[in-house]
């Protein structure tokens, strides 16, 4: 149909249906309704004579051909402050644009080719005019007349006629007897006045494999992917939508201070996943490093901070880092000052710390952090006062006890590092010429003495009774380097546990090792629970070092590396290689939301040189380099799947007769018990979804977008691991289900298990100190130090703990990182709009959601079971980190869809 233009003084904008049947992604069809007899078309010369110029455009037929009047209702999101983001209602030019009715240009795109020419049909155009506005949304309407031979609408092109960006929420096409057709956009649209801005394409909510794409949409599908890939050139600006890769070369700041130079992570020397390319210029003093800026680029739709209050988290973290932390540093001038007494630690929760005037005088930060920032009306001062963490609220002395130390390896903040001891004697794999004797000092005699002859070590190994936290080989190469940094220290460590008949773990021994360095021989010592005063205090100090090691591995490996860092390449590859109408993109998209933005913030102020991590954790300036070493030594994609992870650590074996197909080595292992139910629910949902679109494996193997996505993840996003033999193949439906289930588990269940308990477990830092600042008194004791230790062992322990500034900064950050926003998007809670009209997918999602609601009840019942000693008991914090849903705030429960904090 040749479309013509008619100007009208009264019509409002709209979108359209057709007389071809709609085909659901399930394969089901329904006939489009016959609409009312089209009105006789007005000829162009008569229209011109009418001289009516509202700006609304109708496409009309030039003959007596029947047409349908279709209305498009465009919904634009209003930002949190009540003004349109980028619509600039306070700006004169955009007001005039809205007044004249030319706010948004829409073009309807047919999914079909013209049967006569074999080319794409001409789009039908119309201007949308503003019709209403409230606090949350602005509505624009547009009307079209569409000939019955136009075919099914496959997409809408959008051009923003304003001078600033807008956030387009939905386009609803009204006029269909069977209901509206809604296109879920949820995207920023730049103004056409910007350089090199092309019209945006928004496809309908129907999903297509590449080979099944309607002919009228093939070119648009490929063009949109080309735009998202970009050309790899130039510096990215905030409005760009380009996804590309780069190494981690932006953590240091050598131009401001040579001491802030950091190595590039990514490449042979320091293998690492890739991050999003920003294209910033290189540093003047170090051509391998990228210059830093306070506004780190992420593709525009990955940063919804002005639209969704879910990113209150990002704003809050940013405010803590840029306003609260500098105020703390002003309030606590002596960075080395520790806590003189344990009661001084308690005062953080009871009395608080007086803060100097905050940088924002309007109380914004105080309103943002009501849990920690208190306003004292009588003194007109701000007070930093922390909420008492759950672990101390229930039992003030739990952190002091060995049984709690052990219990938290299974049901605490880092439950994914405990492993079964399978080889004896324990032995390092490091080069003995560099690191000294590889044989452990933990002998059979020590173990058998500790278990009081209950069984031999060989019997304990056979019965799977010995477990270990092994940070020896990971940390030992960094001991010398870390010890050169003022105010911290490090050892390689091994901690051994024995599984009791009650199903709990009992600590047996801690071995701390210093390699040969500075002309001194290797030093190592084994510490055990004992019954004399000196031995007890040495044991407590040894535990402090192990806890600092575990805190570092938790934050740098279990949390940052395995979730945030490893996931970013999946997101970049998905946007570069999978069309937005690809069903797998739509499955993964909810689990990728906001991750790139929070990662960018982490590179800006958390993991950067002299950021929170470096300033407060034992590895100091080597912290992120240490996560690179862990990536090189330990990270495997196939082991990120929960069952494979458990098997690889000896915590489970395959057993087809057992629940989940696994038999746990420790039956009461809360992280594994709850996690496997969540894993199975995710896997069943993914299986139902994938089999709907891929009824046979040949479709998986021949899907060019899917294969390009998986290839790019392995060879570009994780390029330093591209030749590893353990990468799963992607040939069959089962292969695809396994890969997707792993990604969704990591971004939802695994991340929640290691993130949302941070404040309740580590807010009282003696339970999980992030740094050990002093060596063991027995390493190289002089008479004076030994005398002081024997006289005041409590003071020695306090000096080993984090300083006041380190503790308070970490506590403030952990409080925010553990918080659920009011609009958190929990897994299985709300169906995505693009699935709502597909009955097969909708039914599968409802089954998935039902299983997650069941999991809530299962977890409650387990926590009430007094036979499960690792999750219940006097003063014990119940294990709820994998309960799917939560109220807002710090709750130590709730599994969001994605890594959004």
Task: Tell me the pLDDT tens digit for each residue of 526-557.
Answer: 999 999 999 999 999 999 999 999 999 999 99
147 SS3 class: strand
25 and 584 in contact (C-beta within 8 Å)?
no
Reported as type and span, the H/E element at residue 185 is strand 181-189
In whole angstroms, give the CA distance from residue 386 to residue 813.
Answer: 11
pLDDT of residue 371: 72
pLDDT of residue 833: 87
Q: Which two tokens stand for residue 743?
A: 């990604």
What is the distance, to the nearest Å, from the Cα of residue 222 to the centroid of all Cα atoms in its chain? Answer: 28
Q: Which two tokens stand for residue 411?
A: 């049901």
In the sheet with 181-189, reading across from the earlier edge strand, the strands are 181-189, 166-174, 67-77, 137-147, 124-133, 104-110, 153-160, 200-203
Query: Does 425 sit behind a cis peptide bond, omega within 30 degrees of 0 on the bond before it?
Result: yes
Active site residue 4: no
In whole angstroms, give the CA distance from residue 304 to residue 294.
Answer: 17
Q: Which two tokens stand for residue 778?
A: 């027995």
Cα–Cα distances in Å, from 551 out to 128, 316, 544, 613? 55, 23, 10, 11
507 SS3 class: strand
What is the distance, to the nearest Å, from the Cα of residue 70 to the centroid of all Cα atoms in its chain? Answer: 41
Cα–Cα distances in Å, from 38 out to 13, 121, 144, 172? 17, 21, 12, 21
pLDDT of residue 356: 74
Taking each helix axis from N to C terminus, what angle separates 312-319 and 595-605, rounded to the nearest 10 degrees? 0
Q: Which two tokens stand for residue 590?
A: 């909810």
| Residue that is written with structure tokens 């049909």 in the block | 121
Q: Which residues of the chain have pLDDT under 50?
A: 1-64, 80-92, 307-310, 361-362, 378
Choice among 19, 545, 559, 718 that is catalytic: 559
Active site residue 19: no
- Quickly count: other Cβ atoms within 10 Å of residue 87's Cβ: 29
613 and 624 in contact (C-beta within 8 Å)?
yes
Half-sphere exposure of 24 (CA within 13 A, CB side): 16
pLDDT of residue 41: 36
Q: Which two tokens stand for residue 601?
A: 């913030």
Start-to-end C-alpha separation, the chain: 50
Active site residue 591: no
Reported as type and span, the H/E element at residue 782 is none
Choice among 755, 775, 870, 897 that is catalytic: 755
pLDDT of residue 63: 41
In whole angstroms, give the CA distance from residue 729 to residue 732.
Answer: 8
Half-sphere exposure of 412 (CA within 13 A, CB side): 22
pLDDT of residue 15: 36
329 SS3 class: helix
In whole angstroms, give the CA distance from residue 354 to residue 376.
Answer: 10
Q: Which two tokens stand for residue 460?
A: 């304990």
Q: What is the DSSP string of 540-557?
A: HHHHHHHHHHHHHHIIII
Residue 400 DSSP code: G
Cα–Cα distances in Å, from 232 out to 197, 302, 714, 857? 17, 19, 19, 50
What is the distance, to the nearest Å, from the Cα of residue 637 to the centroid of all Cα atoms in its chain? Answer: 17
* Angle at the Cα of 723 from the Cα atoms of 717 and 729, rounded to 5 degrees: 80
pLDDT of residue 8: 35
Strand stretches in 337-401, DSSP E: 353-355, 373-376, 381-384
Specify which residues 30 forms β-bridges with: 22
> Which one, of 749, 738, 742, 750, lies nearest residue 641 by Cα?
742
Radius of gyration, alpha carbons of the chain: 30
Q: What is the DSSP string of 192-245?
A: TTSTTPPPEEEE-S----GGG--GGGHHHHHHHHHHHH--S-S---TT-----E
443 and 427 in contact (C-beta within 8 Å)?
no
Residue 33 DSSP code: P
> Which one, of 688, 682, 811, lies nearest residue 750 by Cα?
682
In whole angstroms, give the CA distance from residue 190 to residue 574.
Answer: 22
Choice among 167, 564, 639, 820 that is catalytic: 564
Reported as type and span, the H/E element at residue 145 is strand 137-147
In whole angstroms, give the CA distance from residue 615 to residue 607.
Answer: 10
pLDDT of residue 117: 93
């Amino acid at each position: 149909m040749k479309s013509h233009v008619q100007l009208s003084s009264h019509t409002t904008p709209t979108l359209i249906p057709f007389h071809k049947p709609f085909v659901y992604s399930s394969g089901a069809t329904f006939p489009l309704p016959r609409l009312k007899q089209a009105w006789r078309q007005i000829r162009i010369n008569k229209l011109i004579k009418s001289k009516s110029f509202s700006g609304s455009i109708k496409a009309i037929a030039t003959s007596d051909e029947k047409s349908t009047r279709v209305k498009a209702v465009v919904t634009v999101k209003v930002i949190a402050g009540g003004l349109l983001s980028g619509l600039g209602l306070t700006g004169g030019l955009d007001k005039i644009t809205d007044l004249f009715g030319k706010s948004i240009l829409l073009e309807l795109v047919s999914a079909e080719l013209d049967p006569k020419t074999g080319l794409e049909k001409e789009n039908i155009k119309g201007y949308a005019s503003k019709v209403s506005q409230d606090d949350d949304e602005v509505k624009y309407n547009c009307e079209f007349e569409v000939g019955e031979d136009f075919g099914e609408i496959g997409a809408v092109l959008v051009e923003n006629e304003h001078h600033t960006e807008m956030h387009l929420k939905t386009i609803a096409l009204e006029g269909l007897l069977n209901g509206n057709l809604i296109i879920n956009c949820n995207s920023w649209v730049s103004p056409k006045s910007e350089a090199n801005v092309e019209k945006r394409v928004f496809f309908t909510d129907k999903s297509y494999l590449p080979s099944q794409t309607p002919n009228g949409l093939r070119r648009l599908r490929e063009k949109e992917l080309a735009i998202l890939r970009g050309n790899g050139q130039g510096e990215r600006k905030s409005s760009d939508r380009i996804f590309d890769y780069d190494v981690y070369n932006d953590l240091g700041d050598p131009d401001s201070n040579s001491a802030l130079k950091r190595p590039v992570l990514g490449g042979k020397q320091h293998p690492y996943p890739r991050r999003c390319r920003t294209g910033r210029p290189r540093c003047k003093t170090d051509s391998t490093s990228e210059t830093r800026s306070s506004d780190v680029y992420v593709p525009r739709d990955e940063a919804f901070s002005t639209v969704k209050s879910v990113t209150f988290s990002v704003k809050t973290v940013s405010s803590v880092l840029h306003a609260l932390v500098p105020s703390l540093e002003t309030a606590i001038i002596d960075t080395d000052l520790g806590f003189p007494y344990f009661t001084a630690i308690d005062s953080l929760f009871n009395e608080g710390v007086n803060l100097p005037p905050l940088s924002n005088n309007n109380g914004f930060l105080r309103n943002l952090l009501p849990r920690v920032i208190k306003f004292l009306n009588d003194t007109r001062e701000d007070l930093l006062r922390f909420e008492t963490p759950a672990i101390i609220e229930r039992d003030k002395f739990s952190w002091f006890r060995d049984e709690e130390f052990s219990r938290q390896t299974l049901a605490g903040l880092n439950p994914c590092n405990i492993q079964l001891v399978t080889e004896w004697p324990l032995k390092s794999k490091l080069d003995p010429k560099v690191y000294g004797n590889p044989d452990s000092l933990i002998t059979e005699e020590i173990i058998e003495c500790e278990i009081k002859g209950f069984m031999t070590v060989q019997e304990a190994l056979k019965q799977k009774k010995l477990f270990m936290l092994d940070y020896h080989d990971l940390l030992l190469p960094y001991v010398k380097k870390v010890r050169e940094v003022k105010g911290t220290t490090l050892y390689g460590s091994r901690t051994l546990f024995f599984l009791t008949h009650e199903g709990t773990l009992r600590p047996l021994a801690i071995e701390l090792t210093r390699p040969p360095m500075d002309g001194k021989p290797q030093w190592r010592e084994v510490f055990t629970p004992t019954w004399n005063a000196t031995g007890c205090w040495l044991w407590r100090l040894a535990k402090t070092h192990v806890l600092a090691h575990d805190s570092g591995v938790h934050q740098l490996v279990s949390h940052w590396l395995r979730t945030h860092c490893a996931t970013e390449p999946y997101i970049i590859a998905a946007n570069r290689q999978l069309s937005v109408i690809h069903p797998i993109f739509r499955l993964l998209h909810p689990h990728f939301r906001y991750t790139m933005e929070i990662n960018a913030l982490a590179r800006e102020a958390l993991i950067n040189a002299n950021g929170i991590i470096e300033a407060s954790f034992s590895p100091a300036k080597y912290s992120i380099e240490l996560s690179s070493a862990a990536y090189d030594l330990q990270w495997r994609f196939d082991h990120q799947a929960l069952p494979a992870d458990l098997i690889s650590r000896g915590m489970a074996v395959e057993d087809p007769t057992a629940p989940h197909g696994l038999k746990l080595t420790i039956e009461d292992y809360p992280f594994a018990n709850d996690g496997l139910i969540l894993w199975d629910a995710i896997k069943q949902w993914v299986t139902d979804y994938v089999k709907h679109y891929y009824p046979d494996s040949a479709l998986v193997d021949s899907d060019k977008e899917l294969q390009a996505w998986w290839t790019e993840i392995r060879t570009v996003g994780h390029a330093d691991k591209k030749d590893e033999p353990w990468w799963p193949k992607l040939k069959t439906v089962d292969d695809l289900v396994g890969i997707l289930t792993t990604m969704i588990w990591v971004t939802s269940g695994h991340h929640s298990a290691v993130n949302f308990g941070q404040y309740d477990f580590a807010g009282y830092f003696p339970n999980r100190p992030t740094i050990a600042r002093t060596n063991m008194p027995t390493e190289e004791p002089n008479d004076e130090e030994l005398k002081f230790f024997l006289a005041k062992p409590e003071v020695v322990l306090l000096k080993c703990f984090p300083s006041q500034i380190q503790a308070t900064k970490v506590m403030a950050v952990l409080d925010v990182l553990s918080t659920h926003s009011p609009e958190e998007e929990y897994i299985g809670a709300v169906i995505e709009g693009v699935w709502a009209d597909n009955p097969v997918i909708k039914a599968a999602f409802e089954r998935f959601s039902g299983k997650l609601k069941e999991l809530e009840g299962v977890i409650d019942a387990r926590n009430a079971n007094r036979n499960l000693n690792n999750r219940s008991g006097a003063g014990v914090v119940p294990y709820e980190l994998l309960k799917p849903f939560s109220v807002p705030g710090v709750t130590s429960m709730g599994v969001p869809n994605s890594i959004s904090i």
